[in-house]
Amino acid sequence: MQAIIHAAEFRNFINKRSLCSNFTFDIIRKRRLGLFVNWKNIIFSSAATGAVLAILILVVFILPGLDPGSFAALCGGWFSLAVLSAFIVNQISKLAKWPEVSLKILIPVGCITSIIPLFGPLFGMPNNEPITLATVVAIGTIGGFFWSIPFAMWSFYSGGKTTEEE
């Protein structure tokens, strides 16, 4: 009950101090959800997630010739690498002080990228030559780029017209 009173007092304080309080609360809500990100950052981070995912799959499954043993172990390892690649890209963006893209965006992009553009080429690879491996990484990058387009459009159209400082 006391938290509700404090929230109401804070809202009244903001209403008195700000001419556009609804806009302010909308920005705070979007930042808290991780959705207030420039669409270019979403596309770049998702493409990086696809590239990191392809590299991880190559290093863990393909190059050593690891046989997971069962379909459940393959799916578990496959999707855990997708989540790990999203987490790696998120941490790199934090350390580099780049705009942080939410894991709520990067994890679905990583999971879908692992299935649609990467699953077929990885199991139908003719050899392990460097050009083939580079092609797989390029396919992962293109897949991450492609699957980030809906999130980027969502951010672009729902973000409103704001400045870069916000």
Q: Percent of the chain scored above 90 by pLDDT?
A: 49
In this predicted structure, what is the pLDDT of residue 84? 97
CA–CA dist 74, 25 (Å, integer): 44
CA–CA dist 117, 47 (Å, integer): 13
Helix (H, G, I), strand (E, B) or coil at 64: coil
What are the pLDDT digits (tens) for 14-53? Answer: 555 544 445 555 555 555 445 567 899 999 999 999 999 9
Q: How confident is the model at residue 126 (pLDDT cuts 50, 70, 90)?
A: confident
Q: How confident is the model at residue 7 (pLDDT cuts 50, 70, 90)?
A: low
In this predicted structure, what is the pLDDT of residue 14? 56
Among 77, 142, 154, which Cα is nearest to 113's? 142
Q: Could you tell me the pTM of the whole model?
A: 0.74
CA–CA dist 75, 86 (Å, integer): 17
